[in-house]
Amino acid sequence: MQMTLEFRFSAMVPVLFSCRILECAGAYDVNDFELLARLATLIFGGLELLCNSVKIHNVNVELQNGAEKLTMKDLLSWIRTNLIKERPEMFMKGDTVRPGVLALVNDCDWELSGQLDTTLEEKDVVVFISTLHANGPPPKPWERAGSSSGPAPFKPPSAGSTSDVVEASGTAKPGEIVPSSDRNTAANRNALARPVPSRPWEQNYGSNTNYGGYGSTMNYNSGYGSGISGTSGMYGSYGGSGGLYGGGMYGNNSMYRGGYGGGGGLYGSSGMYGGGMYNSSLGAPMGGYGMGMGGPYGGQDPNDPYGPPPSHPGFWISVLRVTQGVVNFFGRIAILIDQNTQAFHLFMSALLQLFDRSGLLYGELARFVLRILGVKTKSKVHPPGPNGFNGPHGPNGPHGPYGGNQNFIEGPRPAPSGGWDNVWENDAVR
Amino acid sequence: MPVFKTPFNGYSVKFSPFYESRLAVATSQNFGILGNGRLHVIDLSPAPLGPGVPRQPITELVSYDTADGVYDVAWSESHDSLLVAAIADGSVKIYDTALPPASNPLRSLHEHTREVSSADYNPTRRDSFLTSSWDDTVKLWTVDRPASVRTFKEHAYCVYSAVWNPRHADVFASASGDCTLRVWDVREPGSTMIIPAHELEILACDWNKYDDCCIATASVDKSIKVWDVRSIRVPISVLNGHGYAVRKVKFSPHRQSLIMSCSYDMSVCLWDYMVEDALVARYDHHTEFAVGVDMSVLVEGLLASTGWDELVYVWQHGTDPRAP
């Protein structure tokens, strides 16, 4: 009974080598066919210097005495006989690995899986890591110099490996995953110099159909907006209109939804890009953003006097679900802004660049879909609303873009000749 | 010195502790907001043969693609080909440049629930590393285990950086958006020290390599502060000069009082915190945010920086990074 193995060593320095049992050959019985399919990968750390430093070996493992299974014991003795060319004591002691060489079978310490009796199964991954002769880097410059400042308030270092030290101290908690809800239960939370804002990705997106989450998001973000406009007059136009995010962030959400959902009704919201972003200075893009905000969140805007949106909840659930995927995106943007409130213009140009790409992409997509549907689209060039922010139809309209409202699909229109009140009333009737 | 152009926006650059000419660069697409990431291992060419002979360009040894941005990278201190990458999707990946690309990443550790912002390899004990994450935690890992050994959760906001003390194998510090710097001992259940170091978020920290009680913090408030952990009420020194938030801070491995920093004002600065006129040098070679800096342990005065302009600069202190 033989097995063919392929050994692979990493280059030059002893880091890792892997060996893969490719096939078995020999006299078969029923059990052997099981073996035939067995694949194992062995990875060694810091040991191939003992084996001629050859990177790839193709060898045959003979199972002894008609054994049916390949165990770690067999493998080790085979490696010792066939593979280790010099100083086998660096790798083995007796018939096992020497202390200091860690053996893992499928990322699990082999002590848990039976040590030498561990049976190697198909696609097993075996790792040997030498903690003894891993070569360190050249000494650090500071290691040659003594400590220059008196006694340190730290406990003297413990001997042993890090995992041993941690375990000895009783504080080890392997593989602990901290759920977001658990995060605030830690005890030691003093010394905070300011209230910590909620994280941008934690604001009830997708958790339910309650719109409060959006409301609070808005508040948070308008905080940002005002902060920014406060520090630099350049951005004054953001602040007044409910905050930078209120505009940018959600407008952009609608854009994405338009893209992902492919819903024709959303075209209007990608229209906002055309609305002012491409061909205008910094002020005008904000008009574009503002339009976008009108999207699905108009109803939730705390300042919105026009009541809840008419869409049914099922739609909102799906909206929220899609939104959640986008939250990551904005979480990162928000973090960046957080770190960067002052360098915002640079970030803004980055954002615009990004939108440029995605906006074009989705705009094209939507136009294509609409053409198929036979919907005619108008030019998207559109002056910002009276306050540079609210278009007549985009933002806080009682009908979102989702009621299949043709006006919106066709893109924002200039205001009718009548007063604004009339516009809303008409809409409400419809 | 030549520059290296990365396809994505640079996030971090680190010199190898083994080879003086080798660096790892972490990059992310679309400024790390959305998209993929890539990890580059690059090699400087040997020094020019003589004066006037142009230097050969930087060569890329290998690169690894990731499904999300790479925010930080750390070289292993025990094996010269191992890299730990902090990925924005919350995973920590270990790469071995000596193995064929198909075998990489060697490990992918999924425990953080948010973006992993930094990775740091223990320089004294050399068998473990730390990662910090936007999920407010710092995790301690060892190479031989598939799961983290410990999780440190006390910060109330994103932890942007966690750095080992270069002299105490069990001590590290973490800098967080909750405006505190915390010092930890892996044997203690909680943090051993809380320093409310800045009024605004702290983005980075680093230990002095020659004074194990001295630590520097970089903050959104545009300043760098140097602290002595034995008297934390007032900083030893406050370094003002950056125009925007300071993104990274590093102590020199060769000079006790030399600090390198980079900032969202697109500049890379060198400071001597012990003298009154602290600003030693200012390099304005980046045309976008400078977000990653490192100083070579093996060559004194060799500096590296990367930024969102997708360029990696490696230069000798005192020379022009842009000079060919």
Type of residue at B260: M
Closest to A399 in 3D by CA, of A411, A408, A390: A408
C-beta separation of B270 from B295 below 8 A: no
A111 pLDDT tier (thresholds 50, 70, 90): confident
pLDDT score of B28: 93
- When CB atoms are compared, the residue of A153, A169, A192 closest to B178 is A192
Predicted confidence (pLDDT) at residue A409 exceeds the cutoff of 60:
no
Q: State the Cα–Cα distance between residues B162 and B117, nearest whole angstrom.
A: 9
Burial A132-148 (b: 16+ CB within 10 A, else e): eebeebeebbbeeeeee
pLDDT score of B48: 63
pLDDT score of A65: 65
What number of residues does chain A have?
Answer: 430
Predicted confidence (pLDDT) at residue A98 exceeds the cutoff of 80:
no
Interface confidence (ipTM) of the complex: 0.79
Predicted confidence (pLDDT) at residue B204 exceeds the cutoff of 90:
yes
Count of alpha carbons within 13 Å of A283, Cβ hemisphere only?
10
Predicted confidence (pLDDT) at residue B295 exceeds the cutoff of 80:
yes
Q: What is the pLDDT of residues A123-167, one digit of tens each?
A: 676 766 665 545 677 888 887 776 666 677 888 888 888 888 888
Q: What is the pLDDT of residues B160-199, one digit of tens each?
A: 999 999 988 899 999 999 999 999 999 999 999 999 999 9
Q: State the Cα–Cα distance between residues A326 and A328, nearest whole angstrom.
A: 5
- Interface list for B 280-309 with A (CB within 8 A): 288-289, 297-298, 300, 308
Q: Which CATH class is domain A34-130?
A: alpha beta
What number of residues does chain B have?
Answer: 324
**What is the pTM for the complete model shown?**
0.60
CA torsion sign for A390, A393, A397, A401 is: negative
Strands A124-130 and A40-45, by their bridges, are parallel
Q: What is the pLDDT of residues A176-201, one digit of tens each?
A: 887 765 554 444 444 454 566 667 66
Sheet holding A40-45, edge to edge: A56-62, A2-9, A17-25, A40-45, A124-130, A101-105, A108-109
Which two structure tokens, joined as six digits, stand for A373?
Answer: 């549907």
Q: What is the CATH number of the domain that holds B96?
A: 2.130.10.10
Lowest mean pLDDT among A53-67, A180-194, B7-21: A180-194
Which two structure tokens, joined as six digits, stand for B91?
Answer: 């995973």
- The answer to whether residue B13 is domain-embedded is yes
Domain range enclosing B262:
1-314
Nearest CA in chain B to A41: B103
C-beta separation of A145 from A60 below 8 A: no
Contact at CB, A147 and B211, closer than 8 angstroms: yes
A64 pLDDT tier (thresholds 50, 70, 90): low
Which two structure tokens, joined as six digits, stand for B89?
Answer: 């999707």
The backbone torsions φ and ψ at residue A362, rounded to the nearest 5 degrees and listed phi first, read -70, -35
A407 pLDDT tier (thresholds 50, 70, 90): very low
Q: Which residue has the higher pLDDT, B62 or A261?
A: B62
Nearest-CA distance A229 → chain B (Å): 16
- When CB atoms are compared, the residue of B81, B136, B142 closest to A162 is B142
Query: What is the H or E stretch that residue A423 is in?
Result: helix A420-429
Closest to B34 in 3D by CA, of B56, B11, B67: B67
In angstroms, the Cα distances linking B236 to B215, B222, B227, B239 are: 10, 17, 5, 10
Helix, strand or coil, per DSSP, at residue A254 = helix
Predicted confidence (pLDDT) at residue A412 exceeds the cutoff of 70:
no
Tally of domains in chain B: 1
Q: What is the pLDDT of residues A112-124, one digit of tens each?
A: 777 788 877 666 7
Nearest CA in chain B to A44: B144
- The answer to whether residue B323 is domain-embedded is no
Helix, strand or coil, per DSSP, at residue B202 = strand
CA A428 to chain centre: 42
Q: What is the pLDDT of residues A222-233, one digit of tens each?
A: 333 333 333 333
Contact at CB, A179 and B113, closer than 8 angstroms: yes
A404 pLDDT tier (thresholds 50, 70, 90): very low
Q: State the Cα–Cα distance between residues A411 and A284, nearest whole angstrom.
A: 17
Q: What is the pLDDT of residues A370-383, one digit of tens each?
A: 777 776 555 444 44
Which two structure tokens, joined as six digits, stand for B139?
Answer: 């995790």
Residues 6 or more apart from A200 whose CB is under 8 A from it?
A217, A220, A327, A330, A331, A333, A334, A335
What does the domain layout of chain A look like in residue ranges?
34-130, 313-372
* Other CB atoms within 10 A of residue A58 CB: 11
- The answer to whether residue B322 is domain-embedded is no
Predicted confidence (pLDDT) at residue A68 exceeds the cutoff of 50:
yes
